[in-house]
Chain A
Amino acid sequence: MNSIILATVSRLLTGLLLVFSVFLLLRGHNLPGGGFSGGLVAASAFVLASFASGFPAARRLLVVPPRVIMGFGLVVALVAGLAGNVAGYPFLTGLWDTTLFPVVGKLGTPLFFDVGVYFAVLGVTTLIVFSLGEDSEEED
Chain B
Amino acid sequence: MNAVTLALLTPLVTAVLCLLFLRSLPLQRFFGVAGMVVLLGVSFRLMAEVGGGHIEVVRFGNWPAPFGIVLVVDLLAAIMVLVSAIIGLAVAVYSLADVDARRVRYGYYAFLHFMMFGVCGAFLTGDIFNMFVWFEVMLISSFVLMCLGGEKPQMEGAVKYVVLNLISSSFFLAACGILYGQTGTLNMADLAVTAREMRPELLTMTAMLFLVAFGLKAAIFPLFFWLPASYHTPPVAVSAVFAGLLTKVGVYALMRVFTLIFTNDILLTHGLLLGLAGFTMVTGVLGAMVQFDFRRLLSFHIVSQIGYMVLGLALFTPLAIAGTVFYLFHHIVVKANLFLVSGITQRYGGSFDLKKLGGFYAAAPLVALLFFIPAMSLGGIPPLSGFFAKFAIVKAGLVDETIFGAWAPFLSAVALAVGLLTLFSMTKIWAEVFWKPAPEGHAPHRSNVPRGERWLLLAPVAALAGLTLTIGLFPQFFFDFAVRSAEQLLHPEIYINAVLGGTT
Contact A67–B16 (Cβ < 8 Å): no
Residues of A within 8 A of B62 (CB): 84, 89-90, 93
Instruction: Tell me the complex Cα distance, A58–B92, Å.
Output: 36
Contact A85–B61 (Cβ < 8 Å): no
Contact B19–A90 (Cβ < 8 Å): no
Min C-beta distance of B22 to chain A, whole Å = 6
Contact A90–B59 (Cβ < 8 Å): yes
Residue B9 is within 8 A (CB to CB) of chain A in the complex: yes
Instruction: Tell me the complex Cα distance, A67–B19, Å.
Output: 7
The 8 Å CB contact of B60, one of A67, A78, A92, is A92
Min C-beta distance of A95 to chain B, whole Å = 10
Closest A residue to B107 using CB positions:
A67
The 8 Å CB contact of B20, one of A71, A91, A94, is A71
Residues of B within 8 A of A78 (CB): 9, 12-13, 16
Contact A84–B16 (Cβ < 8 Å): no
Residues of A within 8 A of B9 (CB): 78, 82, 91
Residues of B within 8 A of A91 (CB): 1, 5, 8-9, 58, 60-61
Residues of B within 8 A of A71 (CB): 16, 19-20
Residues of B within 8 A of A90 (CB): 5, 58-62
Instruction: Tell me the complex Cα distance, A90–B5, Å.
Output: 8
Min C-beta distance of B229 to chain A, whole Å = 26
Contact A85–B20 (Cβ < 8 Å): no
Contact B1–A85 (Cβ < 8 Å): yes
Residues of B within 8 A of A74 (CB): 12, 16, 19
Instruction: Tell me the complex Cα distance, A90–B64, Å.
Output: 11
Residue A115 is within 8 A (CB to CB) of chain B in the complex: no
Give chain B interface residues in 81-129, CB to chain A under 8 Å.
107
Residues of A within 8 A of B60 (CB): 90-92
Instruction: Tell me the complex Cα distance, A71–B22, Å.
Output: 11
Min C-beta distance of A35 to chain B, whole Å = 16
Residues of B within 8 A of A85 (CB): 1, 5
Q: Which residue, B1, B60, B61, has most C-beta atoms of chain A within 10 A?
A: B61
Residues of A within 8 A of B19 (CB): 67, 70-71, 74
Residues of A within 8 A of B16 (CB): 71, 74-75, 78
Min C-beta distance of B479 to chain A, whole Å = 34
Instruction: Tell me the complex Cα distance, A67–B124, Å.
Output: 28
Q: Mark A56-96, 1 if CB is under 8 A from B, else 0.
A: 00000000000110110011001000101100011111100
Instruction: Tell me the complex Cα distance, A85–B19, Å.
Output: 24
Closest B residue to A85 using CB positions:
B1
Instruction: Tell me the complex Cα distance, A74–B15, Å.
Output: 10
Residues of B within 8 A of A82 (CB): 9
Instruction: Tell me the complex Cα distance, A135–B19, Å.
Output: 21
Residues of B within 8 A of A89 (CB): 62
Closest A residue to B62 using CB positions:
A93
Q: Which residue, B12, B13, B20, has most C-beta atoms of chain A within 10 A?
A: B20
Instruction: Tell me the complex Cα distance, A70–B22, Å.
Output: 12
Q: Mark B61-81, 1 if CB is under 8 A from A, else 0.
A: 110000000000000000000
Min C-beta distance of B99 to chain A, whole Å = 19
Residues of B within 8 A of A68 (CB): 20
Instruction: Tell me the complex Cα distance, A78–B6, Å.
Output: 12
Closest A residue to B17 using CB positions:
A71
Residues of A within 8 A of B61 (CB): 84, 90-94
Residues of A within 8 A of B107 (CB): 67
Min C-beta distance of A87 to chain B, whole Å = 10
Give chain B interface residues in 1-46, CB to chain A under 8 Å.
1, 5, 8-9, 12-13, 16, 19-20, 22
Instruction: Tell me the complex Cα distance, A68–B60, Å.
Output: 27
Closest B residue to A93 using CB positions:
B62
Instruction: Tell me the complex Cα distance, A91–B13, Å.
Output: 14
Instruction: Tell me the complex Cα distance, A98–B8, Å.
Output: 31
Residues of A within 8 A of B5 (CB): 85, 90-91
Min C-beta distance of B359 to chain A, whole Å = 44
Closest B residue to A91 using CB positions:
B5
Instruction: Tell me the complex Cα distance, A75–B17, Å.
Output: 9
Instruction: Give 27 A-B contacts (CB < 8 Å), ordered by A residue.
Output: A67-B22, A67-B107, A74-B12, A74-B16, A75-B20, A78-B9, A78-B12, A78-B13, A82-B9, A84-B61, A84-B62, A85-B1, A85-B5, A89-B62, A90-B5, A90-B60, A90-B62, A91-B5, A91-B8, A91-B9, A91-B58, A91-B60, A91-B61, A92-B60, A93-B61, A93-B62, A94-B61
Residues of B within 8 A of A (CB): 1, 5, 8-9, 12-13, 16, 19-20, 22, 58-62, 107
List 9 additional A-B contacts (Cβ < 8 Å) besides A71-B19, A94-B61: A67-B19, A67-B22, A89-B62, A90-B5, A90-B58, A90-B60, A90-B62, A91-B8, A93-B61
